[in-house]
Structures are given as C-alpha cells and as structure tokens.
Structure 1
Amino acid sequence: MTIERNVFSTKDKLAEALAEAVADNLVAGIEKRGAGSLAVSGGSTPRKFFEALARREDIDWELVTVTLVDERWVDDSSDRSNARLVKDTLLQGPAAAARFIPLYAGGPEPDAMGIDKANLAVAAAPAPFDAVILGMGTDGHTASFFPGGDALEAALSDEGPLVGIRAPGAGEPRVTFTLPRLLDTGALYLHIEGEEKAKVLDKALETGPVDVMPVRAVLSQSIMPVQLYWCP
C-alpha cells in the first residue's frame, strides 16, 4: 500500500496538524451518528498531540468515547500505564468531558477472564472508530504487535476485539486491539518522530516477514489507507 506522507518541521506543527485532522474525523462522526469514537496509542510520542487535541473546542466532547489501541497490563497508578498518560494529557480542558474506556481489567495477568472483562467494556465504544492513531517502535512493533509475541498471529488476524499478548521486548504482559478491529475505522494514522524511526519505517516498507516487523501488517493491508505524520 502507498502511504500518504505528511511531513512537518517541528513536533508542535505536527501535533497541531494531527489534532486538526482527528478533530475533523470526530466532528464528522458526531454529525453522522451522534457519537464520536477514537483509539489512541501510548508512549512518549503522542503527548504534544494529546495536549493539542484536548484544547479543541469545536468537538462536542460529551459525545466522544476514547480508548487505547493497546495497554500494558498495569493499573493506571503506574507510570507505565498508557491510560495514565491519556488521563493526564488528553482528558483535560474541553476533552475532560469525553468518556474513556481503559483496557486494563484488573488482576496480575491478561488471562481469559480479564480479556473477557475488557472486551465487554470496549463493546460500549461506538463502532467503527472515527480515527485510530498508531505509533511504531524501533523494533517494528505497532499497537502490541511485537516480534516474538506469543499471540501475534491472533492479534493480526482474529476479529477480537482484544487479545492478551506477551513478547520478549514488550516488558509487561499486554492487551491489544486486533488488527481487523483497528482497521474498522474512518481514518488510520501512523504518528512517528525522529530520523531513527523514519529509517525503521523505510525498512518496514520493504518486502519481508511480518513476524520480524509486525508493522508491515498495517502497511501492507489494502482495507484502510495509512496517513503518516512524521517530523525529524
């Protein structure tokens, strides 16, 4: 698949442009069905984007549901929690009125009971998503599609919506939306920053095994165009 490349000179300009695009997606979703639905990624990269989106007053945030594309299986009191990042940066100001659905469902492991509980929670999110924002690691993972993941095949192919996954490079056990569920969206964004990740992306766009660089599953699919937002 050919990806649409949006390149910016600074992180601030990228954050504002991505926030405007996602705001347009949410407004359109609200106008169409009376509700907006957004899935975002964690990590350090999206912080400025979250802060820019949170300031958008053109969105009727009371009608928006926010969730994560994936999560470490930790409580939001942990500084490793993606939910904590979302609450501290995105669910502020006007966006504080949005409904947030976390993926962590309690307990020490994402076992069958925990995943069932998380699936029940995310079933309340309007489908399809209006926008999904993915990140990418330097190992070629996106969401929690990690090289060596014990449930990678299921994460890339099952209807889901969620699976638990463990991988050598993932740290804690994780829960992730499956790829088919993430592709059920009105807009799909890949947000990366820095020259190192640009080189990783170029490598991922080459033909090669998906299990080595799982982001290839996103880049090679033909269901939903990928809109890249990148800055040095």
Structure 2
Amino acid sequence: MQLHQFTDSAALNNDFAAKLVAILSNAISTRGAAYLVVSGGRTPQALFQALAATPLAWENVTILLADDRYLPTDSEQSNERLVKATLLQQHAAHATFISLYAEAENAFAAVPAILPRVASLPTFDAVILGMGEDGHTASLFPCSKQLAEGLADTAPAVLAAEPTSAPFQRISLSKVRLLDSRHIFLHLVGENKFPVLQQALADTDPMQMPIRAFLHHPSVSVDVMYSPK
C-alpha cells in the first residue's frame, strides 16, 4: 500500500487524472486498448469531469463500474446514470461503456445476463475503488450474506449482493475480478475516511472490513489517493 496525501480534493484530482491518463495512454500504445473500472458516489465526480475534459484516444477505452445498485439506469441513484452524466462526456463520450444492469426479476436473476460482459474482459489497466465507513468496497459489504462468495478466489467475475445496512440489491464485481488489474487505486476524500483506513490497516480480516482483501493482498500494491477535504 502506498499512501498519497493531498491538501484538498482539487490537488488530488489533478494528480490522479494525470496518473490515469498516463496509464490509459500507455495501455493504448502498448496493447491497442485500455480498460478502466470506476466507482460511483459523490467522491469521484470532479475526477470524472477532469478526465472527460482530457484529450485521449477514448474510442480505445472501455469503462465499467466496480458495482452498481440494481436500479433502472435512469434512476437518480444509479451509478451508471452518474458515470454517463459526468465521465462519458466531452472527449470521453467516445469511450465504450459496459453496463452492470440487465432487466430481470431481481439482481440475482440478472447476473447470468451481466456475467459474460465482464468475465470475457482482459486484465484491467486501472481499478478505482471507494471505501465506506464500514470498510466495504464495491458492493462487498461486511453485512452481506454474499460477502464470503464475493471474496472467494474461485468467485465468478460478477455477483449479486443484498446488504442489510444499505438500500437496494447490488451487482458487484468480485474481489478476484477487481484484483485482475495492472493498477489499483483507493480514492478517499474526507477526514472521516482516514481513521477507517487506519482501522483497515491495523488488522487483516476481510470479513470485518472487506477493503482489507485489497490493502493486505500479498502480491498487489494499492495506491491510496487521500485528501481530508
């Protein structure tokens, strides 16, 4: 784990956007394509806007979410709607987006339609994770009955989850699919997130705090991008 601290989110976003553009550009020049996994919520919106304003061969970039609430994609609380409104704009409007939504009776019934979209993708070039105050990341929640499945090394690329401490069923990439990335970032903004990070680093049990599965992984280095405001 490498901690990068910034005075404010503007400084963080400038540095983070530059890092991501360099990673994506290198992937395109080396392999002809780049794959970026992002997280939803309020924290990354300014970062998304900075990326969208940056010239890049976006037509060679594929973007998908680490997780989403199982809601119609036009819902106010859909991460897909957020990404389309903030990231897939300007230059980045030319990127390819892979949805984690399929119409079905519920999230669990939707997985068979969504799974092939993600399972067939190559190693990601960058994954941007977030972290809740309970230590969850993506939709790998400590309160979820599906957590052990999501953390298993034999897990499918995508699974459904039903947290008890947060609304809505979820569709989430599994730990093993998220770890299959050349670069993994943890994006944290707010003074309240730093004690949670310290708690996550102080022990290794991912069933209590799922972010630990990434922070303590023996062969993966996570770059933590942190600003107190």
- What RMSD in Å do the two structures reach over aligned CA positions? 1.2
Letter in 2 for 1:41: S
Letter in 2 for 1:144: S
2:137 aligns with one of 136, 142, 152: 142
Which residue in the other structure is 1:65 paired with?
62
Once the two structures are superposed, the pairs formed by residues 89-168 of structure 1 within 5 Å of their partners are 89-112=86-109, 114-123=110-119, 125=121, 127-157=122-152, 158-168=154-164
Q: Give deviations 1:16-49, integer Å, cap 9, x for gaps.
A: 1111111111111111211110000001110011
Letter in 1 for 2:57: D
1:224 aligns with one of 220, 223, 226: 220
Which residue in the other structure is 1:33 paired with?
31
Please list every run of at least 4 consecutive aligned residues from structure 1 whose deviation after the TM superposition is greater than 4 angstroms.
Answer: none
Which residue in the other structure is 2:173 paired with?
177
Once the two structures are superposed, the pairs formed by residues 179-218 of structure 1 within 5 Å of their partners are 179-207=175-203, 209-218=205-214
- 8 A Cα contact 1:37 1:130, kept in partner: yes
Report which stretch shifted further, 116-125 or 86-95: 116-125
Letter in 2 for 1:202: Q
* Cα displacement (A) at 1:164: 0.5
Which residue in the other structure is 1:22 paired with?
20
* Counterpart Cα distance in 2 of 1:37 and 1:12: 25
SS at match of 1:111: helix
- 8 A Cα contact 1:25 1:186, kept in partner: no
Letter in 2 for 1:129: F
Letter in 2 for 1:168: T
* Cα displacement (A) at 1:121: 2.2
Report which stretch shifted further, 151-160 or 129-138: 151-160
Report which stretch shifted further, 152-161 or 70-79: 152-161
Tell me the matched-pair count.
227
* Cα displacement (A) at 1:13: 1.1
- 8 A Cα contact 2:72 2:101, kept in partner: yes
- 8 A Cα contact 1:147 1:212, kept in partner: yes
Unaligned runs of 5+ in 1: none
* Counterpart Cα distance in 2 of 1:109 and 1:29: 36
* Counterpart Cα distance in 2 of 1:108 and 1:212: 30
Q: With structure 2 as the length reference, what TM-score do the two structures score?
A: 0.95
Letter in 1 for 2:31: R
* Cα displacement (A) at 1:122: 2.4
SS at match of 2:192: helix
SS at match of 1:146: coil
SS at match of 1:117: helix
Report which stretch shifted further, 215-224 or 74-83: 215-224
- 8 A Cα contact 2:204 2:213, kept in partner: no
SS at match of 1:217: helix
Q: With structure 1 as the length reference, what TM-score do the two structures score?
A: 0.94
